[in-house]
Amino acid sequence: MTTGTVVLEGVDRYALWDPMFEGARLVLNYRGERLSPTTVQGLSGGAFRIGGICPCAPTVAPAMGPQDLVRLLGYRAVWLSPLEGAGADEVTAWPQILTRIRAEVDAGRPVLLWHAFTMLEWDVVAGYDDAAGTLQGRGAYEGTDGYAEAPQDRAGAGDPALGAILIGERVGEPDIAGLEVASLQEAVRHARSQENARCCPGGPWRMLFGLACWDRWITGFRRPDYVASDGDHYCLGVYRTTHARAAPYLREVAERRPAAAPALMAAAEHWAGEAEALNAAADLFPGWMQPREPDADLNRRVAERLQAARDAYARGVDEIATALGPLGAPAE
């Protein structure tokens, strides 16, 4: 075991609260890419995604994982998960994973590590100090000034402990045009998903997606006796920032797709309205304040804003579906 200290200076701050893909963007940009938050949220699907509503929805209902996005962008990626493999467990796997993390940092490559600094999100490790037993790096809300610092064994205690993603060398050129079309197709498919949508009222809770998720979320807040939960707050906090990237992404795609530009520009206007309404709903809970008892008036105002966001989302999805025709990739 090494007992050194290595810190890679210059890893940027998170530009938005995204627990899944923003860290991968920072690592790739440190390696020489020039990826914008808008591009990454669009290609990954984060800009269009909604699931739950529950505290884990932003991390368990994405279109892909960070390692998948990295590979689509032309890089090798290795996911070191303590949950993978026969007999693997957090206790025995974590020291081996930590050794690999040190080796990557020694080689000048930051690492994605689950639960390194934030709570059950993908963070960026940019350094280690074995004498202090700590890791240094960035998270969505940790390390926003200087690097965050946390015990080296913290990530292994996450529940679940998802391990690390090592980003290797670049091995190919990404098909950005194809990835853009695929992201639009997935946005429509996800929005119209009927997965679990026919679960019976009163039965076991099941995660919903897209419009079905929106409708259940709104229905909950329409109840005068509803009390906002951690899931409501977390989803509002994440989706208000990731969905804000949908409109600029659609405008960027429209610039390169003249035949589909009218529908894409119309979609962008609707998604801008969705983000504005979602942001207004989140602003009703300043500083993560949440009621501890029912507040009928607050619930009514939240429901109104969520309804406006949902309706704009639906119109935006319809315009994306229209745009797919001229792109030769009709919605499924």
Percent of the chain with pLDDT over 90: 82
Identify the band that residue 1 occupies on the pLDDT scale cut at 50, 70 and 90. very low
The pLDDT assigned to 16 comes to 97
CA angle 12, 18, 22 (to 5 degrees): 40
Judge whether residue 205 has pLDDT over 80.
no
Average pLDDT over residues 271-282: 98
Task: Give CA–CA dist 14/29, Å, rounded.
Answer: 12
Question: Is the separation of the CB atoms in 44 and 20 below 8 Å?
Answer: yes
Q: What share of the chain is helix, strand, coil (3-state, %, to 5)?
A: 50, 10, 40
Higher local confidence (pLDDT), 145 or 331: 145
C-alpha to C-alpha distances, 231 to 52, 58, 238, nearest whole angstrom: 8, 10, 11
Question: Is the separation of the CB atoms in 123 and 142 below 8 Å?
Answer: yes
Convert the pLDDT of each residue in 284-319 to its tens digit: 987 766 667 899 999 999 999 999 999 999 999 999
**How big is the chain, counted in residues?**
332
- Of 282, 290, 166, 167, nearest to 227 by C-alpha is 290
The pLDDT assigned to 283 comes to 94
pTM: 0.93
The pLDDT assigned to 211 comes to 98
Question: Is the separation of the CB atoms in 123 and 117 below 8 Å?
Answer: yes
Please, which residues have CB within 8 angstroms of residue 15's CB and are 6 or more apart in sequence?
Answer: 22, 37
Task: Give CA–CA dist 128/152, Å, rounded.
Answer: 8
- Of 90, 237, 60, nearest to 159 by C-alpha is 90
Could you list the beta-strand ranges (E) of the chain: 5-7, 51-52, 75-80, 111-114, 122-129, 134-138, 148-151, 164-170, 208-209
Task: Give CA–CA dist 9/16, Å, rounded.
Answer: 20
Higher local confidence (pLDDT), 81 or 236: 236
Tokens linked to 264: 């894409």
The pLDDT assigned to 200 comes to 53
Please, which residues have CB within 8 angstroms of residue 221's CB and are 6 or more apart in sequence?
Answer: 228, 299, 300, 302, 303, 306
CA angle 229, 230, 232 (to 5 degrees): 65
Task: Give CA–CA dist 26/86, Å, rounded.
Answer: 33
Unique residue bearing structure tokens 């509002």? 236
C-alpha to C-alpha distances, 34 to 12, 25, 38, 111, nearest whole angstrom: 12, 9, 12, 18
- Of 93, 111, 205, nearest to 153 by C-alpha is 93
